[in-house]
Structure 1
Amino acid sequence: MPFDLGATARLTAECRDPGGTLTTASAVTVTVTLPDGTTATPAATEHGTGEYRADYVTAQPGRHVVRWVFTAPAAAHTDSIDVREAAPPGILSLADAKTYLNKSTSEDDDELRTWIESITAGIEGMCGPVIVRTVVERVDVRRASAIALRATPVIDLLSLAPIRTGGTSYDPDSLDLDPSTGIVRRTDAGLILGPLIVTYTAGRRIVPAALTSAARIILRHLWQTRQGPQRPQLGTGDFDVNEPVPSFGYAIPNRALQLMEPYRLPPGVG
């Protein structure tokens, strides 16, 4: 499961001789390669013959590669860990998810948080951003009466800066924004010259109850997969799946799709 940014990740590895027996190494090095390519070398200690661990305090979100190298006997082990961003998007709170699934202990908390992030990505893929975030988008236009931003709904324009030296920048106050479509025009009816890097805020400051309810239904549907392999149930019931949804397969049951329908993006958008 991913670690929270700033949390301590306990890294573990075993040193075995060529015959497979756990053995104390004469030296051990742990190298953590961070997402930006920099490295860290936390100290490793032995806890039981040939069983090593190192504690690493996470400092960047993303995938980290962990490389163990042992000397005498010569052995090596490569692993990876994932670190969440500081504020990962979640359409449901952990408490909400646990209440809906009647969970009173913390044993499944890490798995639930991962499911919440996955469900959020699925709903946003069909309905646009739900969680408020800053988006930086490259708009490759030369001359246009309007530009259309991809992540809708758009809450606010922050900046429009030229990509090329000597290009034109635009004051957001001089532009008209349609939040629902992401279409931006100059208020003086002039042309917008690009290409541009557009920075804006997208998402929904108030999450519609229908989308929150859809997320709960999807969560229950997916949580059932922990009970073992099962074929998707096809039919017309609220929790059945009529047909696979493009990009999401059988992850979204009928009732959730019905709740999301008023917020679905038009085909080809998003």
Structure 2
Amino acid sequence: MPLDLGATARLTAECRDPGGILTTAATAAVTITLPDGTTAQPEPIETAIGTYQADYPTTVSGRHSVRWVWTGPAASVTDVFDVREETPLAILSLADARSQVKARTAQDDDDLRFWIGATTRAVEYFVGPVVVRTVTELHSVGRVRALALRKVPALTLTSVTAARSGGTSYQVSALDLDGATGIVRLLSGADLYGPLRVTYRAGRPVVDENITAAGRIILQHLWRTRLVQGRGGLAGGGDDFSVTEPIPGLGYAVPNRAVQLLNPDQLPPGMA
């Protein structure tokens, strides 16, 4: 499961000889490649014969790759781990998620947070950004009457700057933003000249109940389908959360009941 930014990743690996026997190596090294391309090499320790451990305090969000290398015997292992953003996108709180799936112990929390992230992406597939975030886009345009931002609803413009040397930048006070459509125009009615790099805030400061309810249903559906019943079926497969037909782009991941709740806020294709 992804780690929180700043948490310590405890890395473990086993050194085995060519016969598959756990073996104490003459040397051991572990290299972590961070998402920005830099590397770190925490000191590994042997906790049991052939079993090694290294602790690494995380500093960057994103996918990290890990490579263990031993000599005497020659062996190697590769792995990955993920680190969440400092402010992860979450349509539901952990407390709401626990209540919805009736989780009884804190041992489910890591799994729940993972599925909250998946649920958020699924909801935003239909209605665009729900969780407020900063977006930066490059618009490779020439002379245009208006720009169409790619994430709506858009809340406020932060900056609109030239994306090439000698280009034209614009003060946000001179621009009009239609948040529902993402259309940006000059108040003067003049044309915009690109290419332009646009930074803005998108999302919903107030999340309506139908969107939150759809998120709860999707989360519960995903949580149930991860549990296999003794009869060999998927838990929850026969209740009113079931999916009766595939949804373009999402297959059977989202119950129709949730889609119906999202319909009032659903964006046209290509705008989410």
Alpha-carbon contact 1:91-1:130 (below 8 Å) kept: yes
Alpha-carbon contact 2:225-2:236 (below 8 Å) kept: no
**2:159 aligns to what SS in structure 1?**
strand
Q: Which residue of 1 aligns with 2:93?
A: 93
Q: What is the TM-score normalised by the length of structure 2? A: 0.95
Q: Which residue of 2 aligns with 1:182?
A: 182
- 1:258 counterpart = 2:260: yes
Q: Which residue of 2 aligns with 1:15?
A: 15
In the alignment, the residues of structure 2 paired with residue 256 and residue 17 of structure 1 have an alpha-carbon distance, to the nearest angstrom, of: 52
Structure 1 residues 234 and 111, CA gap change in structure 2 (3 angstroms): closer
**1:108 aligns to what SS in structure 2?**
helix
In the alignment, the residues of structure 2 paired with residue 126 and residue 205 of structure 1 have an alpha-carbon distance, to the nearest angstrom, of: 17
Aligned-pair CA distance for 1:32: 0.5
Q: Which residue of 1 aligns with 2:169?
A: 169
**1:110 aligns to what SS in structure 2?**
helix
Which whole-Å deviations, capped at 9, do the CAs of 1:26-45 have from their partners, x for residues lacking one? 11001101111111000111
**2:198 aligns to what SS in structure 1?**
strand
In the alignment, the residues of structure 2 paired with residue 240 and residue 26 of structure 1 have an alpha-carbon distance, to the nearest angstrom, of: 55
Which whole-Å deviations, capped at 9, do the CAs of 1:219-243 have from their partners, x for residues lacking one? 11111112226479999x8423232
**How do 1:10-159 residues align onto structure 2 when only pairs under 5 Å count?**
10-159=10-159
Structure 1 residues 86 and 172, CA gap change in structure 2 (3 angstroms): same
Alpha-carbon contact 1:234-1:242 (below 8 Å) kept: no
Which whole-Å deviations, capped at 9, do the CAs of 1:199-252 have from their partners, x for residues lacking one? 0000011111111110000111111112226479999x8423232111111111
Alpha-carbon contact 1:178-1:184 (below 8 Å) kept: yes
In the alignment, the residues of structure 2 paired with residue 142 and residue 207 of structure 1 have an alpha-carbon distance, to the nearest angstrom, of: 36
Alpha-carbon contact 2:225-2:234 (below 8 Å) kept: no
In the alignment, the residues of structure 2 paired with residue 233 and residue 109 of structure 1 have an alpha-carbon distance, to the nearest angstrom, of: 20
**1:255 aligns to what SS in structure 2?**
helix
In the alignment, the residues of structure 2 paired with residue 232 and residue 187 of structure 1 have an alpha-carbon distance, to the nearest angstrom, of: 56
Alpha-carbon contact 1:33-1:66 (below 8 Å) kept: yes
Q: Which residue of 1 aligns with 2:200?
A: 200
Alpha-carbon contact 2:224-2:234 (below 8 Å) kept: no
Aligned-pair CA distance for 1:140: 1.7
- 1:268 counterpart = 2:236: no
Aligned-pair CA distance for 1:104: 2.2
Greater Cα shift, 184-193 or 240-249: 240-249
In the alignment, the residues of structure 2 paired with residue 161 and residue 188 of structure 1 have an alpha-carbon distance, to the nearest angstrom, of: 18
Structure 1 residues 233 and 58, CA gap change in structure 2 (3 angstroms): closer
Structure 1 residues 79 and 234, CA gap change in structure 2 (3 angstroms): closer
Which segments of 5 or more consecutive residues in structure 2 lack a partner in the other structure? Answer: none
- State the AA in 1 paired with 2:73: P
Equivalenced residues, count: 269
- State the AA in 1 paired with 2:49: T
